[in-house]
């Protein structure tokens, strides 16, 4: 069956460092993959989309990579700030229209 795995343990880093979050998927061939941010008590908010023919995508301090051979996406936040503390969700998109989410990784950036 299709499976999405994100770092289950919370990631704690120091302000100014780069945070790297991992998303692995199996039994999938996604045409694209999305990353979302979710704050406690709020709905997820879209951050970035990367397509299968793109190796890397950047937006301000965010960078996403997509390796279709390894079936993995990495999500980087450079020069992290306490305001980046949240849960980050990956969502590979398969044909058919529905978006399936991973369980999310909680990031905590300490000042």
Partner 1 sequence: GAGVSQTPSNKVTEKGKYVELRCDPISGHTALYWYRQSLGQGPEFLIYFQGTGAADDSGLPNDRFFAVRPEGSVSTLKIQRTERGDSAVYLCASSTGTHLTGELFFGEGSRLTVL
Let me know the angle formed at the C-alpha of 98 by 28 and 9, rounded to the nearest 5 degrees: 60
- State yes or no: residue 34 binds partner 1 (CB under 8 A): yes
Site for partner 1 in 35-74 (CB under 8 A): 36, 41-46, 49
Range in contact with partner 1 (rule: CB under 8 A) among 11-19, 27-35, 68-76, 77-85: 27-35
- The string of DSSP codes covering 3-51 is EEEE--S-EEEETTSPEEEEEEEES---SEEEEEEE-TTS--EEEEEEE
Residue 101 C-beta: closest distance to partner 1, Å: 4
CA gyration radius, the chain: 13
Angle, CA of 50, 43 and 26, to the nearest 5° = 40
- State which of positions 72-101 bind partner 1 (CB under 8 A): 89, 93, 96-101
Please identify, among the stretches 32-40, 53-61, 64-72, 73-81, the one whose residues bind partner 1 according to the rule CB under 8 A.
32-40
The residues of the shown chain that bind partner 1, judged by CB under 8 A, are 4, 6, 31-32, 34, 36, 41-46, 49, 89, 93, 96-104
């Amino acid at each position: 069956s299709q499976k999405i795995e994100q770092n289950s343990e919370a990631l704690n880093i120091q302000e100014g460092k780069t945070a790297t979050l991992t998303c692995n998927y199996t039994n999938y061939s996604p045409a694209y993959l999305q990353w979302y941010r979710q704050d406690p008590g709020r709905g997820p908010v879209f951050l970035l989309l990367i397509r299968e023919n793109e190796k890397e995508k950047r937006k301000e301090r965010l960078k996403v990579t997509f390796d279709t051979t390894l079936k993995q996406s990495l999500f980087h936040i450079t020069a992290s700030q306490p305001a980046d503390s949240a849960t980050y969700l990956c969502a590979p998109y398969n044909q058919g229209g529905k978006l399936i989410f991973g369980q999310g990784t909680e990031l905590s950036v300490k000042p």
